[in-house]
Structure 1
Amino acid sequence: MMAGETPQIYRVGGAVRDRLLGRPFHEIDWVVVGAEPSWLLDRGYRQVGRDFPVFLHPQTGEEYALARTERKQGQGYHGFVCDFSPDITLEEDLQRRDLTINAMAELPDGSVVDPWGGRADLDGRWLRHVSPAFAEDPLRVLRVARFAARYHDLGFRVAPETLALMRQLGDSGELAALTPERVWQETERALGEAHPAVYFEVLRACGALRVLFPEVANCFGVPQRDDYHPEVDTGLHILLCLAQAARLTPSTRIRFAVLVHDLGKALTPTDVLPRHSGHERRGLPLIRQVCARLKVPKATQELALLVGEFHLDCHRADELRGDTLLARLEALDAWRRPERFEEFLLACEADARGRTGLEDIPYWQADYWRGAQQCGQIDVADWLARGIQGMELAAQLKATRRERLCAYRDAHRARRESLNAR
C-alpha cells in the first residue's frame, strides 16, 4: 500500500468460509492492511496479544489483526518471527494461513478475495494447505483433523499432498513440541464436532495418533471375539463407539470417556487373545496416564475412570447379585451424583452400540440401572427425626438398600423368566 493511502479492512477466515458454505458462524475476525498500530489505537481499539498486535473493536469486541507474515525460527508452534509492517499485502497475509478454505477475505460489499484457490476447494470439498509453510507449524495437524471431523457431513477430505505434509510433521518430532494444554484444547474441540471419530482417523492416517495418543494407537490391530465384536479390531471398535457417543450426546466428557474405555485391551497377553478378561482394571493406569499427560480436567478424568472400570458390569446388569448392584451404585456415587450416573450410562450405551451391525440395538441395561438407582433412593428424614445418625444411619441405609436391590433383582429375573416361558 502506498504511503498516505487509507488502510483497508477485510473480514477473513472462518466467517468467510462458513458464509460461503451456508453454515452459521459466530466469531468474526478482521485483518487490517496498510496500518500502523497507532491507526487503530487512535480510533479506540484496545490492543491485546503478545506475539503480534491484535486489537479489539471498541463496540463489538471483535478481533482486528494487522496483516502479517511469519518466518520459522525455532521448534514448535511458537517458533515464529512475525512481520506486521504496513507494507504487508493482503495476499501475503492470507498465504501464511493453514488451509485454502481459510485463506479468503471479504470486502464490505460481500465480494471475496481468493488468491489461493479457496473457493475451488470449497466446491471440491478439499482440505488443502496453502503453501509448504504449512509443515512449519505442528498445531496444523490437529486443526486439519478437527476440520475433517467438522465438515465430514459435507464430504470434505484431506488432500493427499496435505496428508503427506502432515506425515512429515509426524515424523519430524515437531509434534512433541506441542504443549499438553494445546493438544487437549484442540482434542476437546474435536470431540465436540459432529464426527469426532474422524479426528482420530485422520491423526492415525498421518502418524500423529501414535505420537499424541499412543495408548489409543496401540489398540489398533488387537483382535476381539467376533461373536461379541463383529468388527474384531479393538481400535475400530473404539472409533465405532465414539461415533455412537456422538449420536447420543453432545457432551465432550462422555465422548472422551468412550474414547479411552477399552485401552486395557492393548495390554491383554497375546496367548489369551481374542479374550480380554480383566481389561477394565488393566486400562485404568493407561487412562490416568493419558489424563495426566494432557492435563485433562478432573471431572472428565473421573468419568473416564468410572466408565473404564465398570462398563462391563453395566452391560451384564441382570447377572449381578443385589449385593453387587449396591456396591457398583455406591462406587458410581449414583445417589449423590445422579447427573454423572446418567453420563456413565450413556457412555456404556455407546460402547454397546459401537459394534458392526449392532448400532441400533436397544440398551435395556440403562433402564435397569436407573430402576436400581431409584429403588435405592431413600428419604432419611424420618430416621433423622428419630435420632438415628452417624454410623448407625449409614448402616441402616446400606441394609435397606441391599434389601430393596435384592428384591428388585429377583423381581426382574422373575419377569424375564415368565416372558421367556410364553
Structure 2
Amino acid sequence: MTKKTNKLKILIAGGAIRDLLLSRRPKDLDYLVASGTAEDFMKEFPDALPVGKSYEIFYLNGLEFSFPRKRGKNIEETISLDLLARDFTVNSFALDEDGELYAHPKAMDDMKNRVLRPSFPDCFREDPLRIFRAAVFSARFPEFSPHAELINEMKRCAENGWLNDIAADRVGVELRKGLSAPKPGNFLRLLIEGGCLEPWLTEFSGGTDIPAGPPKYHDKSVLGHTAEIMDKVAGNPLTCWMAMCHDIGKILTPDSILPSHYGHDKAGATPARTLGSRLMLPVKFIKSGETAALLHMKAGSYSELRPGTKVDLLMKLHTSDLLENMTSLCRADRGEDVLQNAPADLAEILKVSLPMQERNQGKKSGEKLRSMRAAKLKSLRPASD
C-alpha cells in the first residue's frame, strides 16, 4: 500500500524494499506516513490502533504505520531525515505510490557491496537493542558482511554500558529470531566480533580463547565450534538453541586440564539454565538447553553405553520430547549418526511393562521396570553391550 490523499502521503519503507532489491519476498511490510497528522490518519483509517510511545506508530490490519521522528521543510526532506534515522543503511529505503525510490545516501552502495552498516553514529546509543537486530540480520543474510563502522559502534555501545538497560525478554525475542535464521551461528559470531556478549550472554565470555578440545578432535575455539554446530542444525530453532548450549560448560574448564574438558557436560547444566532463564526464553527452551549440556556426551557415546544407562538416557529424552533434537545435535557434533538405533530401542523398551503384582510399589517398581527394559535392550544387541 502506497497512498497519497490531500493530506497524507504513505510510502512502503524499511526492510521490505531491501528484500525486493534482493529479489526476495518481503517478510514484513511497514509504512511511513510522510505527510499529514495523526488526526488526519485516524480520520482516513478509523480502525487504526495507536501504539507508539516515543513517536507516533499505528497498527492497521497487522501492518505498521509510523510517522517520521523529524520533519523537514517539505515531504522530500522529511523522508530523507527519516531514512537517515533508521537502524541500518540497507534498511533505509522508501518507495512511493509512483514508484519513486528514496534511499539513505550510503544504502545503494552498501546493498551492492553486501555490507551491514549503521545509518548514523549514535544508532546503538539511541536504541541498544539494535545490536541484537544486527546479529539477527547477520544470521538471516549471511551474504552481508559487517562494516568496520558497525563493529566500532558495537564496541562503543558495549564499553559505555548501553546494553545493560535493555528488557531481557526483548533480547530473548531477537535471539529466537536468530536461531530461526539460515545461518544462526552468525548471531553469536557478530556479538563476539563486536564485543557484545556482556551482560546478556555472559556465560560465553572468554570462549574465543579456549580450545574446543585436543587438536586431534577440534581445530576451533569453544565459541567457534559452537557457532559451527549451530549452523549445521539450522532449520530447527530448538535444536539450534541446544547446539548453542551444548558445550557451554567448557568455558568453566580449569586452565590446568586444557585442552581437555573433563566433566564439562555436568558443569554446563547450570549456566545453560541460567542463560535461558535470564533471557526469559520459553520453559521448553530452558529445559532443552540444560539437557543438551548435561546429556550430549552420553548421547554421543550411545553405542558404548550399558543397557541400563541407555534406558535412563532414552527415557529422559522421551519424556522431554527431545530425542529427535538430540539426534540432530549429536549428528552435527560427532559427524555421524551415533543415535541411529535410539528410536528403535525406545520403541522396544516402551513395550515393556510391569506385571500387575509388581506395580504401585514406588521406587521398587521403578527399579524393576528399568531392569526389565535394560534386559530387553541387551537381548536386542548382546554383542555390543
Using structure 2 for the length normalisation, give the TM-score. 0.89
Deviation for aligned residue 1:188: 1.0
Please give the residue correspondences for 1:15-30 in structure 2 after superposition, counting only pairs within 5 Å.
15-30=16-31
Gaps of at least 5 residues in structure 2 are none
Gaps of at least 5 residues in structure 1 are 70-82, 354-361, 414-422
Which residue number in structure 1 is paired with residue 32 of structure 2? 31
Which residue number in structure 2 is paired with residue 418 of structure 1? none
Q: Select which of 280, 284, 292 maps to 1:307.
A: 292
* 2:375 pairs with 1:373: no
* Alpha-carbon distance in 2 for matches of 1:135, 1:318: 50
* Alpha-carbon distance in 2 for matches of 1:84, 1:412: 76
* Alpha-carbon distance in 2 for matches of 1:402, 1:412: 13
Q: Decide whether aligned partners of structure 1 residues 232 and 204 sit closer, same or farther in structure 2, where only a CA change above 3 A counts.
A: closer
Deviation for aligned residue 1:218: 2.5
Percent sequence identity over aligned pairs: 24
Q: Decide whether aligned partners of structure 1 residues 84 and 253 sit closer, same or farther in structure 2, where only a CA change above 3 A counts.
A: farther
Which residue number in structure 2 is paired with residue 146 of structure 1? 136
Deviation for aligned residue 1:387: 7.2
| Alpha carbons 1:261, 1:308 under 8 Å: kept | yes
Which residue number in structure 2 is paired with residue 72 of structure 1? none
SS of the residue corresponding to residue 410 of structure 1 reads coil
Which residue number in structure 2 is paired with residue 420 of structure 1? none
* 2:228 pairs with 1:240: yes
Deviation for aligned residue 1:85: 12
Deviation for aligned residue 1:273: 1.6
Q: Which amino acid in structure 2 is aligned with residue 138 of structure 1?
A: P
| Alpha carbons 1:217, 1:235 under 8 Å: kept | no
Q: Which amino acid in structure 2 is aligned with residue 288 of structure 1?
A: R
Please give the residue correspondences for 1:227-306 in structure 2 after superposition, counting only pairs within 5 Å.
227-229=216-218, 231-246=219-234, 250-306=235-291
* 2:360 pairs with 1:390: yes
SS of the residue corresponding to residue 36 of structure 2 reads coil
| Alpha carbons 1:242, 1:258 under 8 Å: kept | yes
Q: Select which of 96, 99, 105 maps to 2:85.
A: 96
* Count of residue pairs brought into register by the alignment: 374
Q: Which amino acid in structure 1 is aligned with residue 207 of structure 2?
A: C
Deviation for aligned residue 1:50: 4.1
Q: Select which of 54, 58, 62 maps to 1:55.
A: 58
Give the root-mean-square deviation of aligned CA atoms.
2.5
| Alpha carbons 1:142, 1:186 under 8 Å: kept | yes
Deviation for aligned residue 1:86: 9.7
| Alpha carbons 1:31, 1:64 under 8 Å: kept | yes
Q: Which amino acid in structure 1 is aligned with residue 215 of structure 2?
A: D
* Alpha-carbon distance in 1 for matches of 2:293, 2:151: 33
Deviation for aligned residue 1:210: 3.9
* 2:152 pairs with 1:179: no
Q: Decide whether aligned partners of structure 1 residues 387 and 320 sit closer, same or farther in structure 2, where only a CA change above 3 A counts.
A: closer
| Alpha carbons 2:10, 2:35 under 8 Å: kept | no
| Alpha carbons 2:16, 2:30 under 8 Å: kept | yes
SS of the residue corresponding to residue 233 of structure 2 reads helix
* 2:147 pairs with 1:159: yes
* 2:374 pairs with 1:402: yes
Q: Which amino acid in structure 2 is aligned with residue 340 of structure 1?
A: L
| Alpha carbons 1:215, 1:290 under 8 Å: kept | yes
Which residue number in structure 1 is paired with residue 117 of structure 2? 128
CA displacement, residues 276-310 of structure 1 (integer Å, 9 cap, x when unaligned): 11111111121122122212211011111111111
Which residue number in structure 2 is paired with residue 321 of structure 1? 306
CA displacement, residues 25-52 of structure 1 (integer Å, 9 cap, x when unaligned): 2321111122111111112242221403
